Homo-oligomer: A and B are copies of this chain.
Amino acid sequence: MAQDLAPISPATLRRLPDYYHYVQRLRGEGHETVSAAEVARDLHLDPTQVRKDLAATGIVGRPRVGFEVAEVIEAVEQLLGFNDASDAILVGAGNLGQALLRYDGFKSYGVNILAAFDSDSRKVGLRIGGREVFPIDKLQNLVRRLHVRLGILTVPADAAQDLAERMVSAGIEGIWNFAPVTLTVPENVIVENTRLYETFAALSQALVKKARSARLG
């Protein structure tokens, strides 16, 4: 089944979860098919781009009909591993870490957070979102024992590199990094950065410019 497709471009990959959310809503509304033009209109994309993105997942549409909603869901789940949950740990039970622990939509994205770790002894022992907070020195053992591959890093900037290294040496293969720091890890370890301020920069600048031009009349 899992025929080998060409590698999927980063740009397409970023859009796949958007399609996924969108077609799930369609399914909830009872729609069975959707055309690229409809997707494009509702997600503010170019129809050709939608066709190309969907083609990259391996699904095939039908002229005059469109794409099967169920197939799109299935394809994205297969490709991104949203169907079978993989275990994860979370390091850094601060504000953002706690929010992610409490957030229960993760399971539908194939993420099953087993436990959290924090260096603050006042946080150790707490239960947040149903997971216990352990001290950092338990990290290595738990990750090894349970073969956890994914780590979510939500610590302050100055602690991030050190903790990333501990995660890696414990066996973590992919780090979802929320710290505003560029991590240096061995090349077999995958890092993806989610920096809240990257998107905020454009918005902030646009508002600054608007205010300035309004002031100048």
Query: Which residues of chain A have a CB within 8 Å of any CB of chain B?
Result: 2, 8, 10, 13-18, 21-22, 25, 42-44, 79-82, 86, 95-96, 98-100, 102-103, 109-111, 149-150, 157, 173-174, 176, 180-182, 184, 190-208, 210-212
A17 pairs with B200, CB closer than 8 A? yes
When the two chains form their complex, are residues A102 and B95 in contact, meaning their CB atoms are under 8 A apart?
Answer: yes
In order of increasing CB-CB distance, the 9 nearest A-B pairs are: A99-B99, A81-B208, A192-B203, A17-B197, A14-B198, A95-B102, A95-B99, A194-B199, A192-B199
Q: Are A17 and B205 in contact (CB under 8 A)?
A: no
Provide the residues of chain B in CB contact with A79, threshold 8 Å: 205, 208
**What are 19 contact pairs spanning A and B, CB under 8 A?**
A8-B205, A10-B202, A15-B198, A17-B198, A21-B157, A21-B180, A25-B157, A42-B182, A79-B205, A79-B208, A80-B205, A80-B208, A81-B207, A111-B200, A149-B207, A174-B207, A190-B210, A194-B196, A194-B200
Q: Which of B8, B111, B157, B207 sits near A173, CB closer than 8 Å?
A: B207
Known: A99-B96, A182-B18, A207-B81. A202 touches B198 (CB 8 A): no
| Smallest CB gap from A192: residue in B | B203
State how many angstroms separate the Cβ of A20 from the closest Cβ of chain B.
8
**A13: contacting residue among B2, B86, B195, B202, CB under 8 A:** B202
Q: Which residues of B contact A205 (CB under 8 A)?
A: 8, 13, 79-81
CB distance from A169 to the nearest CB of B (A): 18
With both chains docked as a complex, state the minimum distance between the C-beta of A212 and any C-beta of chain B, in angstroms: 7
CB pair A207–B150 under 8 Å, yes or no, is yes
A174 to B204, CA, bound (A): 8
CB-defined contacts of A42 to chain B, threshold 8 Å: 182
The answer to whether A192 touches B182 (Cβ under 8 A) is no
Distance of A17 Cα from B198 Cα, bound (Å) = 7
- Chain B nearest CB: distance from A145 CB in Å? 18
